[in-house]
Amino acid sequence: MNIEFSGQTVIVTGAGHGFGRAIAQAFAARGARVYACDVNEAGLTETAAGASGPHAVQTARVDVSDRAAVHALVERAAAETGRVDVVVNNAGGVLGQVGRPLEEISESDWRSIFAVNVDGAFNVAQAAAPHMKRQRSGRIVNISSGAGLGISLTGIQAYASAKAAQIGLTRQLAHELGEWGVTVNNVAPGFVRSNPTTERQWESYGEEGQRKLVQNIALRRLGTPDDIAHAVLFFASEQAGWISGQVLSVDGGK
């Protein structure tokens, strides 16, 4: 299967490290014009510098919970290339939070995780939809988590809830946008050591906890950011043209 994206415009959020970096670089290597955004400007610079392909990765500092900033980025991409073919809603995470008892969770802690994981995905999809409808084609790929299908391994209530909500949004938008040839799918990664937060989580398990985590994976290994990027590439490809509203667990087998 030869997957290429020459002539296509791809927007990737949360591209300053981890999954987002691997996804942005994978699209760039396959010929796409990539617009990468994050709040981490230094990380974006590294993402762009490490990319290969016929087009330089364009970067922008964007907080995806800021609706106006998101719409500005999408309009910029459309104005400069004439198209918006793929959006990957990867921005998210736990924002430095750790598991705590329910009664200790503040309103701001709860809402901040929803803002980036759910509102951000909605904002990007909303901005991209008019362009995709006009083209009568497009791909929206959301990045959730195994926490959205089960529980948060670190006990973060808002994270598990937000990722479950994002999966619900995926299914709803698939039905709304399907008649214009737009597919909407979701990749649910298992545990991957991909950024400073997951590194801290890995270390917190200790040697015995790490061993148990890996033993509970059918393939007996942790995944990599490239494993997640490959699933996104498939959902964004022509080969996945009759797949929509689906959640693909990329977790090594559970």
Catalytic, 205? Answer no
pLDDT tens digits, the chain, 254 residues: what are they?
789 999 999 999 999 999 999 999 999 999 999 999 999 999 999 999 999 999 999 999 999 999 999 999 999 999 999 999 999 999 999 998 999 999 999 999 999 999 999 999 999 999 999 999 999 999 999 999 999 999 988 899 999 999 999 999 999 999 999 999 999 999 999 989 988 888 888 888 899 999 999 999 999 999 999 999 999 999 999 999 999 999 999 999 98
pTM: 0.96
- Please give the pLDDT value at position 111: 98
- Please give the pLDDT value at position 198: 85
| Domains of the chain by start residue, with CATH | 9-194+224-244 (3.40.50.720)
Q: Report the C-alpha gap between 55 and 32 in whole angstroms.
A: 7
Q: Report the C-alpha gap between 39 and 82 in whole angstroms.
A: 25
Task: State the virtual CA torsion across 185, 190, 192, 195 in degrees, nearest 10.
Answer: 60
End-to-end CA distance of the chain: 26
State the alpha helices, DSSP H only, in the chain.
Answer: 18-29, 41-49, 67-81, 107-114, 120-135, 157-177, 196-215, 225-236
Q: Report the C-alpha gap between 13 and 39 in whole angstroms.
A: 9
159, 167, 182, 250: which one is catalytic?
A: 159
